[in-house]
Amino acid sequence: MRIATWNVNSIVPRLPRVLDWLAHSAPDVLCLQELKNTTEAFPVEPVRELGYEVAAYGLGRWNGVAILSRIGLAGVTRGLTGEPRFDGATEARAIGATCGGVRVWSVYVPNGREPDNPHYAYKLEWLEALRQTVSAELSDAPFAVLGDFNVAPSDQDVWDITAFAASTHVTEPERAALERLRALGLGDVFPRPLKYDHPFSYWDYRAGNFPNNRGMRIDLVYGNPAFTDAVADSYVDREARKGKGASDHAPVVVDLSLQPATA
């Protein structure tokens, strides 16, 4: 079984790339983030033609998430238990589904902007709601929460920690929130480096950042023992980050020694 996660940074302009990637990488499940469109506007038909069911959740703002599956799609849940609101509005940042016997959540954690910005406090509240949701769902069955966490778990997960002084993504409260999530019994599926010593998954669009590997590992896969014990391989697909019109994130791919469960 192959499960992947990818922040596509707007599904409509990125659709040709997504379809091509689905065709040649053939994931059984693909979690998407930052759709930037509504649930109803998600381009279901071209994805369905490749054999995938779609569960999308978008409100037409700067977020939106989806799960694409060719091994079944059941128990779809949109949003978190006790999810906080920002500026009085709920944002489309989490969707869960059971695919071939594996429960997955596609999440797009709030950015936080700056540590003194109200969005930062919202980010921490959102991560706590995620922890509570995961805690209520965990069982002995394979389970994973995947997506753009907008947090680098350690200093080694950014290209130069001194470049992030007084910035979000690396602060102690954010990392502590991740640790509380992992303390539920989740392991960090660390991608195998394919080219550089460290497998970053995001590179800012500014010139030189990607070819010089000035990036961050913020696209994460956290799984319970039934999931992580089955990991046969994992990697960041840097090829999908290359060329004109690419997202600023690359897919993170996990291969599992699991056979999809049949209904």
Tell me the mean pLDDT in the region 199-207: 93
For the chain, list the domains and their CATH numbers.
Answer: 2-256 (3.60.10.10)
Active site residue 20: no
Is position 188 annotated in a ligand binding site? no
pLDDT tens column, 18-30: 999 999 999 999 9
Is position 249 annotated in a ligand binding site? yes
Active site residue 169: no
Q: Is the pTM of this model over 0.85?
A: yes
Closest CA to 241 of 32, 3, 14: 14
Q: What's residue 263's pLDDT? A: 57
Q: What's residue 261's pLDDT? A: 86
Evaluate if residue 235 carries a pLDDT over 60.
Answer: yes
Mean pLDDT of the chain: 95
Evaluate if residue 156 carries a pLDDT over 60.
Answer: yes
Is position 34 annotated in a ligand binding site? yes
* Active-site residue (options: 57, 219, 222, 249): 249
Q: What's residue 218's pLDDT? A: 98
pLDDT tens column, 8-67: 999 999 999 999 999 999 999 999 999 999 999 999 999 999 999 999 999 987 899 999
Evaluate if residue 79 carries a pLDDT over 70.
Answer: yes
Is position 28 annotated in a ligand binding site? no
Six-digit token pair at 184? 């539920």
Is position 117 annotated in a ligand binding site? no
* Active-site residue (options: 52, 57, 108, 222): 108
C-alpha to C-alpha distance for 49 and 180, rounded to whole angstroms: 40
C-alpha to C-alpha distance for 240 and 178, rounded to whole angstroms: 27
Q: What's residue 200's pLDDT? A: 96
Provide the 3-class DSSP secondary structure of residue 118: helix
* Active-site residue (options: 52, 120, 148, 157): 148
pLDDT tens column, 239-253: 999 999 999 999 999
